[in-house]
Chain A
Amino acid sequence: MLRIANAQVWVHDQDEALEFYTTKVGMEVRADVTLPELGFRWLTVGPAGQPDVAIVLMAVPGPPVMDEETAEEVRTLTAKGFAGTVFLTTDDCQAAYEEMVARGVEFTETPEKRPYGIDAGFRDVSGNSLRLTQLIDSEPS
């Protein structure tokens, strides 16, 4: 059986991203380990109620992992909002929206009704897109 463990987003600054995902979005740190001999920091966060899934906040590496031109392209794509999207669900989109707005999260879309539920969208500090969706209970009543 396959299960999703971690998925990665590129971030421009790991400290800034950590601050955003924990204090503004409300996630918790799962792992934060620096391997100084490699100049590498493994940093993951996740929702408190879902301990087996995490988001890796990955710094864009330089050479030799990634040549400087490619690294710059990845940073630019992230800043332009084209580096991917994380889809979150919540049981109360409006309440989560209001709480995050109060903490300074910039929403690109306020909660709106959709055929599948109530949906809002925001960006992290690097430009990654995140959706916040309250799904309609699809179980037959």
Chain B
Amino acid sequence: MSAVTVEEADAIHPAQARMSPPSRFADKAFYWLTLSMAFAVVLLVILIGWQLGQGSWQAIQKFRFHFVATSTWDPVAEQYGALPFIYGTAISSLIALLIAVPLSIATAVYLTELAPLWIRQPIVSLIEMLAAIPSVILGLWGIFVMIPWLRDYPFPFLQRILGWTPFFSGPIYGPCMLAGGIIVAIMVLPIITSVSREILRSVPDLQREAAYALGATRWEVTRIAVLSYARKGLFGAVILGLGRALGETMAVTMVIGNTPQIAASLFKPGYTLASVIANEFTEATTDMYLQALFEIGLVLFGVTILINLLAQLLLKTITAGAAPDRVQ
């Protein structure tokens, strides 16, 4: 601009004269501020790995592979084998999925394909409310309502029908592996349902229309056009549910019995990786005890990370950009 006095500038361009020069510094500062906050997630992952690793280092060195292969957990005798907890986590999660997956996917199918429109949103809202129930409250209900009822009705029934198998044999105490599995099922129902719903909704209508055009019934359209197309995504939803099941802590701790043993019978109490940490962390009297618990945490962390990674990979292609672990 040619040399103009301030007054002249004000006269020619009063608005321009009053505006403050843009601050390149402010732009850059804001950029770096937000960037550093976003990269905090990277720091968090490193933090978790570092703390868990550091806290369990001596135990890792001492027990090496035996840690995950030994089934004796005896802190008094300084014996730390994590196998019972790995077994407990695996079995309770498996039971949970066996119960939850069919129900969730069927519900998702109902909500996206078969239900009358007016009923969809209310049901979805109710499922979201179920997801919002804190784990400890579900556990409270589990102890005082679910287990007594299970012990009185379904469990004896199961034992009568299937007691000849090793899975349903033996005395029924109440708190047991099966109860743990059931309560975890209740906890993962909402997330598997909601993610499956998103998957099914993302199936293009073209697929459905083509099937309808061929004269298929509603169910046939669902089976042929929608479910097979969505197979990969639904599998991802199941894996996501598995990830959630593996990490369930409070409700499981309150109903599973907390006994470190590997038994065939589902009526026997069990113990999970998360539960042993919850129960024994503050009781850990020796350093090695604490280290062993840190190592359990490391195992749990590693397993859930892997499962969640797998789930994200499966779901990435379907729901790009959405946060799949939010209940929709």
A binds B: no
